[in-house]
Chains A and B, each alone.
Chain A
């Protein structure tokens, strides 16, 4: 995990007079303290400073959902937040939901239903499912569509994603919320 160095790994900020702030957050259950440039995007902080590259930057303006993470349990877009805005929060990225080996239950359902092709948007969908599971969204509720409409996938045509998500919600509803941590 990052120390209190303001530099991105190997990426010097030169002699620039970047205004920096000390940031304290919990990321995937670990406490992180780092001095970060005020203008550093949360997505860049997670990917480049902490090396958590599961989240993807695709649109850069909060439209497509590929950069989705969970902040205090809620799905959020990391590409339109500054790192300093999440001071004191609890952040979960896809890495934090992975099983030690292989695939967790939601991931298995995505594989089984061929709910991914190129896979670039997939981590974002999985984090939205993570927050739906946290909120015990019922698989038949109208809320499901609202959650899913926050994501763009160019490959699958959405049908298989919808199927995988509903099955994931049904499976996790049965055994109570909590996800796959």
Chain B
């Protein structure tokens, strides 16, 4: 069902307003007192502990697995390999295999061949983790090494070693996106800019590693699996297929997540294996990932190469873009491993007109950890490509960087704008909704002090520092479908309980969803509670990803509340014997008909209905409502990011004196949380281009296995000053005008930082064509480059 009447067009009712209020998060109390409720905090006194034996080879045939010495180790309960686990279907799901895609879905456990360092090979079950680790070191695996291939460009070569010889190629996915006229060419006085962009491999590093617990319940009839996943319902479905049991025999509960960022948007091997072990051994088991295995076993992100050709007219308008790109997706598909490279064609043009597009993208398998999404999916790369090309065109045409954007940005009168068919995220076609991109650009420029920047640059130069400014805009697909469900119940104590499909990953979804329900019913937020992540309570849900938590999950919760209200009025009408139309809901309660016009507030409704029933044989009815929201079209958030960086040429350190964001995520539920998402997202993006990098050596071993090797942004990497401006243009694509905001900070930061670094180094002949990282080593090398004429 779609909604015809946006709520905000209706007269407001109710005694309380929550939309747009900076409500403090109620969930903070538990978290701040240390009662987190994360998976490792759940007592599991009877659970045996699992340590996973992982491949130490990037590419090899597994000739034999010898368990004897491990089995003889103290406290060992079992040592299990693929053949011991009776999996009916060991393929993990991949949801972005479009027609023509070759099937390289990941398997839960290696059978005869390993394809990346970190792949699951065997499981050791012991009385505790220490003893399990002791024994895991004694499992002997006889590998016959095969030549590894880690670089995607050489993997795409005809004579490269093949990961899946039966497929005859390492190129497993291909997607084309075209718009306008494919034969576009430069006119007199115009430009053709050709660049190769390189994006390095990264990973999300949520503070909480992964883990899985599983135990049999109901006399061994059911399996209860606990896993901090963004997709509990998907896990239940896949697990039922893998184990060959009915859906109702599995209960998945996802506890609170200690960060996700896309790394937990996946059905992982361990989520199949640990439950299979519980069933095999008929006892509770637990696996907790340690950080060392996390770096190899949790999905990676971002790695791709893009060849771009931009055709630009003499006046700076972009005529068209030709793109060819290759994603290094690692050894097998992640849950949405082809999505980032698909996003390049879908999102590269952002808020700019660029009428002609020809984008041709490929996924290439290599002997690395499978690739999946990370905050922003492929949009950070797409944004960086477009924004670097704009700055390069401005430089070559000797045009102001703001001016070239003004000439290309889509005007409000051109919206809604159909940007062509896409395979991205079930969007089908990219159809921009309402917005004012030029206003967003000007707001960002003004707030960032763009017009005075040259003075600032000169002052910094006097101090011996190199200051640069970078502009970046993006339009992001948010709040994707295809649908979402919610269930809401009026409890006997007069409070309402929302069963939500959205997982708490830190974004504050408990609070925003409760705000929306309270707003709809006109009640106090304290009268609304929420439950999330239990498939017994919420059997059907799409999940938590793609900036859909508040925009889609929040909307469906509020619509369920609207249905609940109708149910309540129906119950009253039946009880007092009047027409439901004679009853009104206002100020958080029911206004009864008649001269007295009595008012019954929500908290008294269950009691009053019970009184009406007294003396009759009527059963107390369960007052509840369910709602399913179809989301045929995602909504589009947009922003302008402007980074000012300052380089110390003596140390190569890059500081960020000022960072500005002007953005539009539609109607804002909670400005405090929106700001938190943006600032957090920006700093994550800054870390990705200044510090973080996963390193494989020449023989395919992953060298970055700890937080010492993989440097995350710390407090000193955050911008000194942060300026933020909210635009709130409601979108007609969402029942409450909301767009998503969870990922935009990271998306915008890539383009803004790359442009700022390039601007600071504008006197040097250095290419800033990709994501760097622009760490001190990179900067010091750049400063050795010849000066530009």
Report A's interface with B, CB cutoff 8 A. Answer: 8-17, 37, 39-40, 47, 51, 53-61, 63-64, 66, 93-95, 98, 102-103, 107, 110-112, 114, 116-123, 126, 145, 148-149, 151-162
Task: Jot down 23 A-B pairs with beta carbons below 8 A, ordered by A.
Answer: A10-B47, A12-B75, A39-B130, A40-B130, A54-B36, A58-B208, A59-B706, A59-B707, A94-B33, A111-B32, A114-B676, A118-B257, A119-B27, A119-B256, A120-B36, A120-B259, A121-B207, A123-B36, A145-B716, A151-B714, A154-B207, A157-B718, A159-B679
A118 touches B708 (CB 8 A): no
Report the Cα distance A58→B205, complex, angstroms.
10
Q: Which stretch in B189-197, B421-429, B502-510 binds the other chain?
A: B502-510
Q: Which of A9, A107, A122, A149 contacts B716 (CB 8 A)?
A: A149
Q: Which residues of B in the span 194-253 have a Cβ within 8 Å of any Cβ on A?
A: 204-209
Instruction: Indicate if the CB atoms of A58 and B718 lie closer than 8 Å.
Output: no
Identity of the chain A residue whose Cβ is nearest the Cβ of B43 in the assembled complex:
A51
A98 lies within 8 A of B291 (CB):
no
CA separation between A180 and B269, bound complex, in Å? 44
Query: Is B13 positioned at the interface, with any CB of A under 8 Å from its CB?
Result: no
Question: Does B28 reach chain A (CB closer than 8 Å)?
Answer: yes
B112 interfacial contact with A, CB 8 Å: no
CA distance A149 to B714 in the complex (A): 6
| Alpha-carbon gap, A12 to B715, bound state (A) | 42
B706 touching A149, Cβ below 8 Å: no
Task: State whether A157 and B683 are in contact (beta carbons under 8 Å apart), knowing that A16-B75, A114-B25, A149-B714 are contacts in the complex.
Answer: yes
CB-based contact A152/B38 at 8 Å? no
- Expressed in whole angstroms, the minimum distance between the Cβ of B38 and any Cβ of chain A is 6
Give the chain B neighbours of A9 by CB distance below 8 A.
45
Which chain B residues border A11 with CB–CB below 8 Å?
A: 45, 49, 127-128
Residues of B within 8 A of A (CB): 24-25, 27-29, 31-36, 38, 40-41, 43, 45-47, 49, 74-76, 126-128, 130-131, 204-209, 256-259, 261, 290-292, 505-508, 672-673, 675-676, 679-684, 706-708, 712, 714-716, 718, 722, 745
Q: Min CB distance, A123 to chain B, in Å? A: 5
Residues in chain B near residue A40, CB distance under 8 A: 130
For the complex formed, measure the closest distance between the CB of B210 and the CB atoms of chain A, giving whole angstroms: 12
In the complex, chain A residues whose CB is within 8 Å of the CB of B258: 56, 58, 118-120
Beta-carbon contact of B684 and A154 below 8 Å: yes
Closest 5 CB pairs of A and B: A54-B34, A118-B506, A14-B75, A120-B258, A119-B31
The answer on a CB contact under 8 Å between B75 and A123 is no
**What CA separation (Å) do A146 and B43 show in the bound complex?**
35
A94 near B34: Cβ-Cβ < 8 Å? yes
CA distance A37 to B46 in the complex (A): 20
Contact B707 A63 (CB under 8 A): yes
Instruction: Please state if A64 and B36 are interface contacts (CB–CB under 8 Å).
Output: no
Measured in the bound complex, the distance between the Cα atoms of B511 and A114 in whole Å is 12
A60 to B209, CA, bound (A): 11
Q: Assess A153 versus B207: contact at CB under 8 Å? Given A54-B34, A114-B672.
A: yes
Give chain A nearest CB distance to B722 CB in angstroms.
6
Q: Is the beta-carbon distance between B34 and A123 smaller than 8 angstroms? A: yes
Q: Are the CB atoms of B75 and A58 closer together than 8 Å?
A: no
Contact (Cβ within 8 A) A122 B673: no
User: How far, in angstroms, from A114 to B24 measured CA to CA in the complex?
Assistant: 8
How far does the Cβ of B566 sit from chain A's closest Cβ, in whole Å?
35
CB-CB under 8 A for A61 and B291, given A118-B259, A148-B715? yes
Closest to B716 in A: A149
- Cβ A98 vs Cβ B33 within 8 A: yes
Known contacts A59-B707, A61-B706: A118-B45 contact under CB 8 Å: no
Min CB distance A63 to B, Å, is 4
Q: Please, which residues of chain B bring their CB within 8 A of the CB of A53?
A: 34, 36, 40-41
| Contact, CB under 8 Å: A111 / B36 | no
Bound: A57/B208 CA distance, A: 8
Q: How far is the CA of A1 from the CA of B544 in the complex (A)?
A: 39
Known A-B contacts A57-B40, A59-B706; the reply to A13 vs B32 at CB < 8 A is no
State the CA gap A73–B204 with chains docked (Å).
34
Judge whether A156 and B36 touch: CB under 8 Å. no
CA gap between A157 and B49 in the complex, in Å: 35
Assembled-state Cα–Cα distance A120/B680 (Å): 15
B292 touches A60 (CB 8 A): yes
Q: In the complex, which residues of chain A have a beta carbon less than 8 angstroms from the beta carbon of B680? A: 117, 154-157
Q: Could you say which of B256, B507, B676 has the most chain A C-beta atoms within 10 Å of its C-beta?
A: B676
Given known pairs A14-B75, A56-B208, A64-B207, the reply for A158 and B718 (CB within 8 Å) is yes
- A158 touches which one: B29, B127, B683 (CB < 8 A)? B683
Give the residues in chain B near A121, CB-CB below 8 Å.
Answer: 207
- Residues of B near A155 (CB, < 8 A) are 207, 259, 506, 676, 680
> How distant is the Cα of A54 from the Cα of B706 in the complex, in angstroms?
23
A157 and chain B: residue at smallest CB distance: B683
Contacts of B208 in A (CB 8 A): 56, 58, 118, 120
Find B29's partner among A14, A47, A57, A102 (CB 8 Å cutoff). A102
Task: Tell me the nearest residue of chain A to B49, going by C-beta.
Answer: A11
Is A117 within 8 A of B712, CB to CB? no
**Which residues of A sit under 8 angstroms from B29, Cβ to Cβ?**
102-103, 111
Closest chain A residue, CB of each to CB of B714:
A149
Q: How far is the CA of A117 from the CA of B505 in the complex (A)?
A: 8
- Since A13-B131, A111-B29, A158-B715 are in contact, a sample of 9 more A-B pairs with Cβ atoms closer than 8 Å, ordered by chain A residue number, is A10-B45, A11-B128, A12-B127, A53-B40, A53-B41, A58-B207, A110-B32, A154-B204, A157-B676
A residues near B41, Cβ cutoff 8 Å: 53
In whole angstroms, how far apart are the Cα atoms of A94 and B32 in the complex?
9
Nearest Cβ in chain A — how far from B195, in angstroms?
Answer: 30
Residues of B within 8 A of A63 (CB): 706-708
Q: Is the CB of B131 within 8 A of A16?
A: yes
Residue among A55, A102, A158 facing the most chain B CB atoms (10 A cut-off): A158
Please report the C-alpha to C-alpha distance between residue A120 and residue B707 in the assembled complex, in whole angstroms: 16
Question: Smallest CB–CB gap between A101 and chain B, Å?
Answer: 10
One of B128, B673, B722, B745 near A114 (C-beta < 8 A): B673
Q: In the assembly, what is the distance between CA of A98 and CA of B33, in Å? A: 6
* Highest count of chain A CB atoms <10 Å: which of B127, B261, B507, B745: B127
Output the least CB separation between A180 and chain B (Å). 11
| A contact residues around B205 at 8 Å (CB) | 154
A124-B248 Cα distance, complex, nearest whole Å: 40
Name the CB-closest residue of B to A59. B707
Given known contacts A63-B706, A111-B32, A145-B715, A13 and B128 CB-to-CB distance under 8 angstroms:
yes
Complex: how many Å from CA A10 to CA B285?
Answer: 12
- Name the one of A60, A154, A162 contacting B206, with C-beta atoms under 8 angstroms: A154
Chain A residues positioned under 8 Å from B43 (CB to CB):
51
Q: Measured between alpha carbons, how far is A93 from B33 in the docked complex, in Å?
A: 11
Question: Are A157 and B707 neighbours in the complex by a CB distance under 8 Å?
Answer: no
Of all chain B residues, which has the CB nearest A126?
Answer: B32
A113 and B289 alpha carbons, distance in the complex (Å): 32
For residue B708, which residues in chain A have a CB less than 8 angstroms away from its CB?
A: 61, 63
Q: Is the CB of A112 within 8 A of B24?
A: yes
B34 proximity list for chain A (CB < 8 A): 53-55, 93-95, 98, 123
For B46, the chain A residues whose CB sits under 8 A away are 10
Q: Which residue of B lies closest to A55 (CB)?
A: B34
Cβ of B24 and Cβ of A111 under 8 Å apart? yes
Separation of A111 and B672 alpha carbons in the complex (Å)? 11
Chain B contacts for A149, CB-based, 8 A: 714-716
Across-interface contacts of B716 in A (CB, < 8 A): 145, 149
Q: Nearest chain B CB to A106's CB is how many angstroms away? A: 9
Q: A59–B75 Cα gap in the complex (Å)?
A: 26
* Cβ contact within 8 Å between A119 and B706: no
Measured between alpha carbons, how far is A17 from B47 in the docked complex, in Å?
22
Q: Which residues of A contact B681 (CB under 8 A)?
A: 157
Q: In the complex, what's the smallest C-beta–C-beta distance from B679 to chain A, in angstroms?
A: 4
